[in-house]
């Protein structure tokens, strides 16, 4: 994969606050070749808010219109065309695997499986998980044995998410 393409993409998605930490976003080479530019399918930006103890992940720069509770800690925001625009996770140290409450530090590892049309955000390395449905159609979560969030899955992503291009 061209390093120039990756560097340009990473320059575009700088975190919003000083204490945001982000590792290189991972693209699965099986689905994205050098000639392919699917950078808009990933995360536009994310912010951890100290004052409200919340993590907000924006998939596009569009304004938020509506939101729906997916779980007791996960909110899903929609744009004016009813596509998922962003998510908010309240109290990340309590609900996301591997985030310490003293100094929140984490990596967002988004991937898109074009064959299955699933957009996925991994918060932790591979561990034993259980799938759990949410109150939002086509949004599922993977939780570990402690009940902490490991992955968020968005099924039918090409039609349900604002950051997916057809």
pLDDT along the chain (166 residues), means of 10: 51 40 31 32 73 84 79 91 90 82 68 89 82 93 90 90 72
Q: In 26-150, which ranges are continuous DSSP H helix?
A: 92-95
Q: What is the pLDDT of residue 37?
A: 36
Q: What is the pLDDT of residue 165?
A: 61
Q: Classify burial at 11, counting beta carbons within 10 Å of its beta carbon; exposed 0-12, middle 13-18, buried 19 or more.
A: exposed
Q: What is the pLDDT of residue 38?
A: 42
pTM of the model: 0.65
- Print burial letters for 77-96: b (CB count within 10 Å at least 16), e (below 16): bbbeeebbbbbbbbebbebb
Q: What is the pLDDT of residue 64?
A: 64
């Amino acid at each position: 994969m061209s390093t120039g393409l990756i560097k340009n993409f990473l320059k575009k998605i700088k975190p919003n606050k000083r204490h945001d930490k982000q590792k290189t976003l991972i693209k699965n080479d099986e689905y994205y070749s050098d000639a392919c530019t699917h950078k808009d399918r990933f995360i536009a930006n994310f912010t951890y808010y100290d004052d409200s103890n919340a993590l907000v992940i924006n998939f596009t720069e569009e304004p938020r219109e509506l939101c729906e509770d997916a779980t007791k800690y996960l909110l899903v925001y929609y744009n004016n065309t009813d596509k998922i625009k962003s998510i908010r996770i309240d109290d990340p140290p309590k609900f996301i695997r591997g985030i310490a409450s003293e100094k929140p530090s984490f990596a967002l590892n988004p991937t898109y499986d074009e064959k299955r049309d699933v957009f996925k955000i991994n918060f932790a390395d591979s561990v034993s998980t259980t799938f759990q449905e949410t109150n939002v159609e086509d949004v599922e979560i993977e939780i570990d044995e402690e009940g902490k969030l490991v992955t968020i899955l968005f099924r039918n992503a090409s039609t349900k998410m604002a950051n997916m291009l057809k």
